[in-house]
Each structure stands twice: as structure tokens, then as C-alpha cells.
């Protein structure tokens, strides 16, 4: 009959040893951050998409010595802007972003600066793209 008396267990036998067996488990990590490294900075907490959308940001663009204001929501929620962008109608997109009065002011300032409509539109769209963080029109 096998002996199942665990009270008499001999505790003097050596158990598994932890040592450096060539793997990463037994190694201690060192702090490898150089002394000249900048101190870590806390990032602001991420906002939910609903919260970010609720904060409608106004973008200010300075072109032809005048300031134009664009609401970020116009880039996202405006069907006319979306339709104009789908077919690559940059003047139509600018009308939607700047509004009629803003577009008229833009045209007047561009004419006074001696720009052609194509040059003025490209310059303005490149400024908007730079501010928003998307690509420019290219050549």
C-alpha cells in the first residue's frame, strides 16, 4: 500500500532553482535611459469621438493680408463641400468653407495681389490643408 502521509514530507530536498539559464527570464532589467534624455511628459487623455466632434474648432487662415475663418465642422458635415470635393471642384469647396461673403473677399484680395484664379485657389487650399493636416493640391 502506498504511503500517502504528507505530514512526514521531507522538506530538506532542494526545489527548483532560479538562475540564468540563457533566457530573458532570469535577467534583471537595467535602466538604460541616458542622463541627457528629456523627462517624460504626460499626454492629455484621449477624447471620445463624440466629445471631439462637439468641440467645433475654428481654423484661422491668413492669406492675401486678410484673415479667413473656417469651422472644422464645415469640412465634415457639409454636403455641398463633400459633393465639390468628390469631383475635385476646389473653387466650390472654397465657397462652402469660406461662405459667400468670405469667398468674395478672397477673390477681391487675390485680384489685388495680382494672382490668377488658379494660383489663388491653389495657394488658399494649400494653406487650409497645412492647417488641417492633410495633403496639398500638388502641381
For the segment 33-44, what is each residue's pLDDT rounded down to a tens digit? 788 877 777 766
Residue 5 has pLDDT above 90, yes or no: no
Residue 20 has pLDDT above 80, yes or no: no
- Domain contains 69: yes
Nearest in space to 137 (alpha carbons), one of 90, 69, 84, 80? 90
- Domain contains 80: yes
The pTM score is 0.54
- Domain contains 86: yes
Residue 105: the pLDDT is 94
Domain residues for the domain of 66 are 57-132
99 torsion bin: left (phi>0), alpha (psi -120 to 50), beta (else): left
Residue 80 has pLDDT above 70, yes or no: yes
Q: For the chain, what is the domain count?
A: 1
Residue 104 has pLDDT above 90, yes or no: yes
Amino acid at each position: 500500500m502506498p504511503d500517502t502521509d504528507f505530514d512526514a514530507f521531507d522538506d530538506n530536498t532542494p526545489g527548483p532553482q532560479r538562475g540564468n539559464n540563457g533566457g530573458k527570464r532570469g535577467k534583471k532589467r537595467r535602466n538604460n535611459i541616458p542622463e541627457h534624455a528629456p523627462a517624460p511628459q504626460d499626454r492629455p487623455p484621449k477624447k471620445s469621438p463624440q466629445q471631439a466632434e462637439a468641440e467645433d474648432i475654428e481654423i484661422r487662415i491668413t492669406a492675401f493680408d486678410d484673415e479667413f475663418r473656417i469651422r472644422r465642422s464645415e469640412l465634415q458635415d457639409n454636403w455641398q463641400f463633400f459633393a465639390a470635393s468628390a469631383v475635385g471642384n476646389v473653387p466650390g469647396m472654397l465657397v462652402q468653407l469660406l461662405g459667400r461673403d468670405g469667398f468674395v473677399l478672397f477673390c477681391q484680395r487675390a485680384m489685388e495681389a495680382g494672382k490668377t484664379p488658379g494660383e489663388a485657389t491653389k495657394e488658399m487650399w494649400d494653406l487650409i490643408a497645412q492647417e488641417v493636416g492633410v495633403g496639398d493640391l500638388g502641381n
